[in-house]
Amino acid sequence: DEPYGGGSGMVLKPEPIYKAHDSIFKMKNCLTLLMTPQGKVLKQRDFVRWIKYDQLILICGQYEGFDERVRAIADEEISVGDYILSGGELPAISVINGVTRLIPGTLGDPKSLLDESHNSDLLEYPQYTRPPVFRGIKVPDVLLGGNHKEIKLWRKDQMLERTAHRRNDLISKEDFKKSPVSKRIKEELKN
């Protein structure tokens, strides 16, 4: 309907949203999420937290948004970034996908969840597969050497370096202090 007080656009009425919410709210261990650009920005740790619920209800805004009284039924308000979309459906799909892939049995190898970007607030290390050289670009020797301790150190350093260069807002001072490459990364970032 039209917003009280005038203005452009249309606002989702509270009655149909409450009616839909009431009809599907079935479990005690339920969480209702409101997709809105005013919410807190979605993080990987949110998916990990939400997987513990038996039911998630996602409410998507549309047009100019929803009647303010809809906020009363939401447990959390979620945004996927500082931009505006036509509706909350695409952010809801992000929530559905992010939570679903954490359900045991969804992924073929559960170990693939361990070293992903943002699990430790660091971006994931580079991945390579066969052939060892493609168009003149060679797989790093450490990955071909078979020394798993060296590979683990290389991957950690790559995560720190990649995060420092691409998303230094994510990297902690503690991670920097612990890394043997931190001095090199710090020098590169100064230049």
Residue 187: which H helix or E strand, with range?
helix 182-190
Confidence of residue 58 (pLDDT cuts 50, 70, 90): very high
Confidence of residue 188 (pLDDT cuts 50, 70, 90): low
Using the predicted structure, report yes or no on whether residue 52 has a pLDDT greater than 70. yes
* pLDDT for 120: 78
Using the predicted structure, report yes or no on whether residue 178 has a pLDDT greater than 70. no
Contact 94, 69 (CB under 8 A): no
Outline where DSSP puts E strands in 4-80. Answer: 30-41, 55-60, 76-79
* pLDDT for 117: 81
CA distance 29 to 55: 7
Identify which of 63, 166, 87, 79 has the alpha carbon closest to the alpha carbon of residue 121.
166
Q: For residue range 71-121, list pLDDT tens digits in order.
A: 999 999 999 999 999 999 999 999 999 999 999 999 998 888 887 888 877
Contacts of 162 (CB under 8 A, 6+ apart): 122, 123, 124, 125, 126
Peptide bond into 16 cis (omega under 30): no
β-pairing, 133-134 vs 76-79, is unpaired
Confidence of residue 145 (pLDDT cuts 50, 70, 90): very high
Q: For 163-177, give the secondary structure using H, E and C.
A: HHHHCCCCCCHHHHH
Q: For residue range 3-12, list pLDDT tens digits in order.
A: 999 999 999 9
